Every structure is written in C-alpha cells, then in structure tokens.
Amino acid sequence: MHNRLVGVVTGGTKGIGKAVVESLARTGFDVLFCARNEADVQALQNELVAKYADQSFWGVSADLSKPAGRQLFSQALTQNCSQVDLLLNNTGVFLPGGILTEAEGTLEKLVETNIYSAYHITRAVFPLMKESKRAHIFNLCSTASITAYVNGGSYAITKFGLLGMSKVLREELKPHGVKVTAILPGPTKTASWEGTDLPDDRFMQASDVADMLLATYNLSPSAVVEEILMRPLPGDI
C-alpha cells in the first residue's frame, strides 16, 4: 500500500468520476470509489481488478447524501487505506428548475448530495492525507459555480456553495501542505445529457476533465492550480 499512491473518488462509476477512476488506475494508483448503484460498483471493480492485477481497488455502494452512506464510506476508508494522496469529491446531482417554481424539497436534496457529501467526506479523508507527501483535494464544481442562469435554481446555489467551500479549504490547508483545486467544467458528455439531440462536438469529453485533473496533480510540490475552468470549444450550451 505504501508503495503506491491512493486515490479516492466519490460518484466513481459514471461520467467524469469514472473517467478519473480509470485514469488513476492507468497511472498506477490504488483506488477507493463509491456510487449508489451496487451493480455499477461491482462491475467497475471487477473490470479494474481484471485489468490491473497488481493494484488494489475497493468499490463501495453508498449514498453520500445520507448520513448512513457517508458513515459506510468513511469506514471503508479507514479499514482499507493507511493514507490517501488524492481525493475527488464528484458526487452530485442536477435537477433543472427555478428557485420560485421548483418542487418543494429540491434545495434540500441538492444540498445534501452536492455539498454535504463533499463536506463530510473531506473531513473523513483529511486525517489519512496527513501521511501523504502529495495530498491533493479536487472538488467538482461547474461553470454554474460562477455563472447564474435561468433554470439553474438550486443546482446553481449548491455549485456556488461548493466553490466557496473549495476556497475556504484552500486557506485552511495551506499550513498542512495539502493542495485544493476546484474544477469548473462546462457541458460534458455524461449521463446528465442523455437524450439530447445536440452533436458530440458541442460537449467536452469526460476524459478531458480527467486529463486536466491528473496534469494538475503532477505539478511540482511548490505549485497549485486553484481553479480549472473548462468549456467546450464553441462555448456553453
């Protein structure tokens, strides 16, 4: 375990999360990841174990919007990892709607999923990052973290909040030598866009975000990229 870097990815079976898990595995990391769907978790773990027999992978089925799910994932962390070098807080959900018109409970659901998950998992992981000489936390924000738009509603509120959390963490963790990076991707071809009739070239690929994350992680110890803003070449949709 001590010979290899260890990455932790939440929401790791689809889209950007899965692209990052696969990228870390290719680079030689041991990886602990989670998602809500047990079948998806098991399928990805089997795939990784078969492909990278010398590395360790732990898939956990957990809903990080719920205290019980966060506790389950935190236990898996402490049981399997003596240190963590990279954390990607990627768990999130998108529900369109307006602040005045969206269904009752939408804000609560999105806050629990998009902010509580990152807040509590960061707190659980940090003690294990103290053992690392290359500790780095990435929070998956959005262009919705900086750009207000109609029909953004509670989603934009939570993504603004996650960017704020990233800025606070950056200040708190400077004395500990832990890097913090907020990633703000625009439209990326993931499950959120299933059913769209827009062409693929209107989107970034999930692998683009994973490549940027890894390039940022691999900078020298004296440099940190605080924010990564990425958009499709033609701009936002």
- For residue 216, the SS3 value is helix
Instruction: Tell me the backbone φ, ψ of residue 124, rounded to 5 degrees.
Output: -75, -35
Angle at which helices 117-129 and 67-80 cross, to 10°: 20
How many CB atoms lie under 10 A from the CB of residue 194?
7
Find tokens 């958009």 and name the residue: 231
Close Cβ partners of 187 (under 8 Å, ≥ 6 residues apart): 193, 202, 203, 204, 231, 232, 236, 237
Residue type, 180: V
Question: Reduced to 3 states, what is the DSSP secondary structure of residue 98?
Answer: coil
CB 81 within 8 A of CB 31: no
Of the residues 116, 149, 155, 217, only one is catalytic, namely 155
Q: Is 116 a catalytic residue?
A: no
Active site positions, annotated: 155
